[in-house]
Structure 1
Amino acid sequence: MDFGLSLHASTATDIVAYSDADWAGCPDTRRSTSGYCVYFGPSLISWSSKRQPTVSRSSAEAEYRAVANAVAEVSWLRQLLVELSCPVAKATVVYCDNVSAVYLSANTVHHRCTKHIELDIHFVRE
């Protein structure tokens, strides 16, 4: 009982996600590990932590890849809830602790140095 997940009954139907990444955290390959967790109301319903498939050139890139993974999971969960006749009316909030990654998601101008993550940027905005 001390190590289980607690699911709480609630009328709240908002979805909130948190993402994070460690930049070049693996000492052997210098690949980053990214993770996210998703809450439906007060209950944790989805989470993931895994090594990124490529080496990130900056902490912003590693964080943005983590955000992209969280957004992909949230998109899938929202579609699942629609199919279960429980659509979510509010927009989903995805939290990220990297200012550069947040700036990339809000900036409509792509700079030459960020072209290698352009697809993730388009995916998160959409």
Structure 2
Amino acid sequence: MHNYRLFAIKDLGDLSYFLGLEVLYTDIGLFLTQAKYATGILLRAKLYDSKPVSTPLAPHESFTVHGTPFSDPTLYRSLVGALQYLTITRPDLSYAVNQLSQFLQNPTIDHFRAVKRLLRYIKRTLSFGLTYSHPHKPCVIGYSDADWARCLDTCRSTYGYSIFLGGNLVS
């Protein structure tokens, strides 16, 4: 004997906004963006009116644990954490956010300066996101890259990868 309970549900229509993700329906599929969420980060950091830049990091930027400690590590951690969530629809931010995440314990002024630069890049690219189209054939393709001994403090390597399903980035 089963004891089932009935729940009333309501169809709210097509998904448009969920947990900071904006979903736009196009002729070819879906476009996911976090423009509203990114704007909130810029406002919280007081950088909404800042001058935009064209790259997430300065050319040839390398980070090290050495330097003058940043006066508000909690702010640094909060902003980098928010940026980690933004990488869901912004894979162009992943490398920079990963680099900055390695210094959450003891950020320096140089690390915070890089966070501000990354936010200025986001200001320029607020409308960026991911397009998911209907795949013509469901093939899986992966790419990877490595930078041997990139970390200046430990001489460890860094790497990145992308996995596509039917031409759509999934990881």
TM range (shorter): 0.3 to 0.5
Larger Rg: 2
- TM-score calculated relative to the size of structure 2: 0.26
- TM-score calculated relative to the size of structure 1: 0.35
